[in-house]
Amino acid sequence: MEFRVFYLVRRRGYILKFRVYFMEHIYKVSGMHCASCVDKITDALRNIPGVVNATITLNPPEAKVEMKDHISTAAFKNAVQAKGAYDINDKMNEMIMSSSMDLPEVKASTYKPIILIALYLIGGVVLHGIISSKWNAGMLMSDFMGGFFIVFSFFKMLDIAGFANSYSTYDIVAAKVKAYGYIYPFIELALGIAFLARFNPMLTNTITLVVMTVSIIGVLQSVMNKKKIQCACLGTVFNLPMSTVTIIEDGLMIVMSAAMLFLKM
């Protein structure tokens, strides 16, 4: 969440107004038992470079942190764990949001980034087909999936730590193995290169089918439970809500990989 702070400075009869933008995040803190714990966590967080202010409460066990720029949750974890048996997690990524942090209304404009990416990919695939004069379903799907995985891995890699935190809130593997969230963007990149290079189509499509099937399970659970969470498909660059669009996105990859496996048989 972004909020504004105004400063008024009187200088030579004029009032100058300065506007400073800060980011505010709410974190869940575990391991606190008393006021002394609150003091330790407060001191730890306020001493992190880039933190403007930190307000800690024991009940509920939360930390409201104001920062100049984005600071990874890992930095906060290291700071509080150095003070004792404490831990801290991004509450926003646990989908406990205030009304001022509601996800955008689900409409076409909300998914503009995904729509534009899809249109660009389709246009590129069609153009490649025209130039190469090769129009077959396998080639078109392989090119589309290759471009899809490379583009989506790019956005995830812009903030891998942020993606991993967000992804762990709904993916069934990342929720249990945090490292998987850090590895996943590289899996997508490798699959994208494999599709474009036509590397062992049987193996590439099999891995894609398994990875996307596992991924869609968490998506389905989140949508069916009507959780208001952020979709991590484009990392943390865009605030996209988890919805049926995410199911269609993953489902399309599953259908195409299964179709290409069938074509190779």
**Higher pLDDT, residue 212 or 237:** 212
Tokens at residue 100, please?
């001022």
Residue 12 phi, psi (nearest 5): 50, 45
Q: Are 254 and 206 in contact (CB under 8 A)?
A: no
Tokens at residue 77, please?
């974890």
Which tens digits make up the pLDDT trace of 59-70?
888 998 888 777
Q: Supply the mean pLDDT for the chain.
A: 79
Range of 93-97, 100-104, 108-112 with top mean pLDDT: 108-112
pLDDT (0 to 100) of residue 228: 66
Within 10 angstroms of residue 20's Cβ, the number of other Cβ atoms is 11
pLDDT (0 to 100) of residue 190: 95
pLDDT (0 to 100) of residue 243: 66
Rounded Cα distance, 256 and 141, in Å: 7
Which tens digits make up the pLDDT trace of 244-262?
677 777 888 888 888 887 7
pLDDT (0 to 100) of residue 14: 46
Q: Which of 64-78, 93-107, 189-203, 229-243 has the lowest mean pLDDT?
A: 93-107
Rounded Cα distance, 27 and 16, in Å: 35
Read off the pLDDT of each residue in 73-86 and give the average, rounded to a whole number.
89
Q: At what angle do helices 137-157 and 178-197 cross, to 10 degrees?
A: 140
- Its pTM stands at 0.56
Read off the pLDDT of each residue in 17-44 and give the average, rounded to a whole number.
79
Given a cut of 80, whether residue 240 has pLDDT beyond it is no
Beta strands (DSSP E) in the chain are 2-11, 14-30, 51-57, 62-67, 87-90, 230-231, 240-241
pLDDT (0 to 100) of residue 194: 94
- Determine the residue type at 96: I
Read off the pLDDT of each residue in 35-39 and give the average, rounded to a whole number.
89
Look up the CATH architecture of domain 2-100: 2-Layer Sandwich (3.30)
- Determine the residue type at 222: S
Range of 47-61, 98-112, 126-140 with top mean pLDDT: 47-61
Domain boundaries, the chain: 2-100, 105-264
Which tens digits make up the pLDDT trace of 111-137?
777 788 888 888 888 888 788 777 777
Which tens digits make up the pLDDT trace of 189-220?
999 999 999 899 899 999 999 999 998 888 88
Rounded Cα distance, 193 and 204, in Å: 10
